[in-house]
């Protein structure tokens, strides 16, 4: 075993600092920690509070940085198999077929559409914003006849509206977005899926900004496809598309009349691979994102250790506290009411006298938030993510930065009102 020290300089943007890395054999490279010396190393750090990517746990980042191994090495086969099992647990879909693919949340949405939609299929999209529009566009690419059931910006159709809409035509699929990242609106997935299943439809739920942060009992609620990405409440850097697919949906896929027109996303190519890893055998169609899957194994384990119900309640509590603080500052949220607001992000209109320069001012105070995304109100609001490893200290730091930014923007309010309201909500 080789031992020793490597020394050099590293430029972190504020001048060079001395780095010493203890080297203890090749097998421990992934755990080697640089010892950094120099003034101002952490002064440039800002708290990331956007609705994805989020801040990531150090153990997850450590797993991401471990030495890369073969995708058919015994330890990776065990890792991937356990990860797929954990996907079922986190999605609360014990009978579903899990898929973990190298790609983004859009790939997960694309895979759902490509494998279940055939030319001429009727699809009703319960539209809650920007990403519902994207879902419709994707489905049309595969020949689906798309009808959008819309509401005003900040609102979302509910089960009664869906029941009426389903009477107008024959639909094979009802697609919906659990939490639309553009508006912060949360759909009633349980009620919508119940109505859809009563009508004999498959259900596709975009859970990109909801999974592991917003309550969803996929199997119990009748969700046929629940899809997400790694970089939000799942807590892994961008690069993984995750889906669970019900036995009913897999049967529909198996009985398709036309071949899947998307080669990479075709379940026929990936299903044998997922099954092989679940059975602790190696497989190959496309090389999996080995290190991201190591990181996903750790993150899903942390989620399950916390407990799903405990985790859901933590997200609810943090969201309520943040919005209590925002309301005390006179800020109005985009969702039509608190009951339709998500637990993973908050979308807030700029108060009178301020504009789209506000996120930049908040950033100068040490917290990064996101601007608007929905095309109808893009320049009228901003978005704050509060999911994953986010805690009460992050909520208070963010509100403090917002208060300081509002003061600089010339907005009149009682200093400390937002922080005090959030503290009361946190208890």
What pLDDT shows up at residue 44?
74
Last residue of a domain, one of 285, 306, 327: 306
What pLDDT shows up at residue 45?
86
What pLDDT shows up at residue 302?
98
Q: Residue 48: inside a domain, yes or no? A: no
Same domain, 164 and 265: yes
pLDDT band at 43 (very low <50, low <70, confident <90, very high): low
Distance, CA of 266 to CA of 253 (rounded, Å): 10
pTM (2 d.p.): 0.90
Last residue of a domain, one of 290, 306, 322: 306
Same domain, 168 and 212: yes
pLDDT band at 186 (very low <50, low <70, confident <90, very high): very high
Nearest CA to 197 out of 159, 155, 144 is that of 159
pLDDT band at 3 (very low <50, low <70, confident <90, very high): very low
What pLDDT shows up at residue 208?
98
Which residue is it, tokens 């700029």?
350
Residue 33 above 90 pLDDT? no
What phi, psi does 11 have (nearest 5°)?
A: -95, 115
Q: Quick: pLDDT tens for 205-228.
A: 999 999 999 999 999 999 999 999
Residue 4 above 50 pLDDT? no
User: What counts of helices (H) and strands (E) characterise the chain?
Assistant: 14, 17
Residue 12 above 90 pLDDT? no
Q: Residue 52: inside a domain, yes or no? A: no
- For the segment 303-309, the average pLDDT, to the nearest whole number, is 98
Residue 321 above 90 pLDDT? yes
CATH number of the structural domain spanning residue 314: 3.90.1150.10
Number of domains in the chain: 3
Same domain, 334 and 378: yes
Same domain, 302 and 415: no
Mean per-residue pLDDT over the chain, rounded: 91
Distance, CA of 334 to CA of 382 (rounded, Å): 9
Q: Residue 47: inside a domain, yes or no? A: no
Q: Which domain holds residue 395?
A: 308-426
Q: Quick: pLDDT tens for 268-282.
A: 999 999 999 999 999
Residue 109 above 50 pLDDT? yes
Contact 312, 213 (CB under 8 A): yes
What pLDDT shows up at residue 27?
34
DSSP-assigned letters across all residues of 165-180 = HTTSS--SEEEEESEE
Q: Residue 386: inside a domain, yes or no? A: yes
Same domain, 149 and 198: yes
Distance, CA of 159 to CA of 164 (rounded, Å): 9
pLDDT band at 190 (very low <50, low <70, confident <90, very high): very high
What pLDDT shows up at residue 245?
99
Q: Residue 256: inside a domain, yes or no? A: yes
How many Cβ atoms from other residues are within 10 Å of residue 318's Cβ? Answer: 23
Last residue of a domain, one of 275, 306, 337: 306
Residue 25 above 50 pLDDT? no
What pLDDT shows up at residue 34?
38
Same domain, 274 and 342: no
**Crossing angle of helices 130-141/105-116, nearest 10°?**
40
Same domain, 36 and 71: no
What is the SS3 assignment for 353-404?
A: CCCCCHHHHHHHCCEECEECCCCCCHHHEEEEECCCCCCHHHHHHHHHHHHH
What pLDDT shows up at residue 424?
98
DSSP-assigned letters across all residues of 188-211 = -HHHHHHHHHHTT-EEEEE-TTTT
Q: Quick: pLDDT tens for 372-423.
A: 999 999 999 999 999 999 999 999 999 999 999 999 999 999 999 999 999 9
Same domain, 190 and 338: no
Residue 16 above 60 pLDDT? no
Residue 7 above 80 pLDDT? no
What pLDDT shows up at residue 331?
98
Q: Residue 57: inside a domain, yes or no? A: no
Same domain, 38 and 67: no
Same domain, 247 and 343: no
Same domain, 330 and 249: no
Q: Residue 56: inside a domain, yes or no? A: no
Q: Residue 54: inside a domain, yes or no? A: no
Residue 14 above 70 pLDDT? no
CATH number of the structural domain spanning residue 287: 3.40.640.10
Residue 305 above 60 pLDDT? yes
- Whole-number percent of the chain with pLDDT over 90: 89
Q: Quick: pLDDT tens for 132-158.
A: 999 999 999 999 999 999 999 999 999
Q: Quick: pLDDT tens for 64-82.
A: 999 999 999 999 999 999 9
pLDDT band at 28 (very low <50, low <70, confident <90, very high): very low
Question: What stretch of H or E contains 97?
Answer: strand 97-102
Which residues touch 252 (CB under 8 Å, ≥6 apart)?
Answer: 116, 202
Same domain, 298 and 320: no
């Amino acid at each position: 075993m080789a031992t020793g020290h490597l020394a050099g300089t590293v430029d972190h943007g504020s001048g060079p600092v001395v780095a010493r890395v203890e080297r203890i054999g090749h097998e421990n490279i992934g755990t080697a920690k640089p010892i950094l010396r120099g003034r101002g190393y952490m002064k440039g750090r800002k708290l990331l509070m956007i609705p994805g990517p989020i801040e990531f746990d150090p153990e997850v980042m450590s797993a991401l940085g471990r030495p890369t191994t073969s995708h058919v090495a015994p330890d990776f086969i065990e890792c991937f198999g356990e990860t797929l099992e954990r996907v079922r647990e986190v999605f609360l879909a014990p009978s579903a077929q899990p898929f973990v693919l190298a790609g983004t949340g859009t790939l997960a949405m694309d895979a759902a559409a490509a494998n279940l939609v055939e030319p001429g299929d009727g699809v009703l999209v319960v539209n809650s914003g920007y990403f519902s529009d994207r879902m419709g566009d994707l489905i049309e690419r595969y020949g689906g006849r798309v009808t959008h059931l819309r509401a005003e910006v900040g609102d979302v159709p509910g089960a009664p509206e869906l029941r009426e809409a389903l009477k107008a035509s024959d639909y094979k699929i009802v697609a919906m977005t659990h939490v639309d990242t553009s508006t912060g609106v949360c759909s009633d997935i349980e009620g919508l899926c119940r109505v859809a299943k009563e009508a004999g439809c498959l259900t596709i739920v975009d859970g990109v900004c909801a999974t592991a942060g917003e309550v969803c009992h996929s199997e119990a609620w009748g969700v046929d496809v629940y899809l997400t990405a790694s970089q939000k409440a799942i807590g892994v850097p961008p690069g993984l598309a995750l889906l669970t697919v019900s036995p009913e949906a897999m049967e529909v896929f198996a009985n398709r009349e036309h071949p899947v027109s998307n080669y990479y996303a075709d379940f026929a190519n990936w299903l044998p691979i997922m099954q092989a890893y679940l059975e602790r055998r190696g497989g190959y169609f496309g090389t999996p994102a080995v290190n991201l899957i190591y990181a996903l194994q750790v993150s899903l384990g942390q989620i399950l250790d916390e407990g799903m119900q405990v985790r859901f309640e933590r997200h609810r509590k943090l969201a309520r506290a943040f919005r209590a603080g925002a309301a005390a500052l006179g800020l109005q949220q985009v969702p039509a009411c608190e009951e339709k607001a998500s637990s993973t992000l908050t979308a807030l209109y700029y108060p009178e006298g301020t504009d789209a320069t506000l996120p930049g001012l908040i950033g100068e105070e040490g917290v990064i938030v996101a601007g608007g995304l929905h095309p109808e109100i893009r320049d009228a609001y901003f978005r704050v993510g509060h999911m994953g490893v986010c805690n009460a200290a992050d909520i208070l730091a963010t509100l403090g930065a917002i208060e300081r930014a509002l003061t600089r923007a010339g907005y009149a309010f009682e200093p400390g009102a937002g922080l005090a309201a959030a503290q009361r909500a946190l208890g």
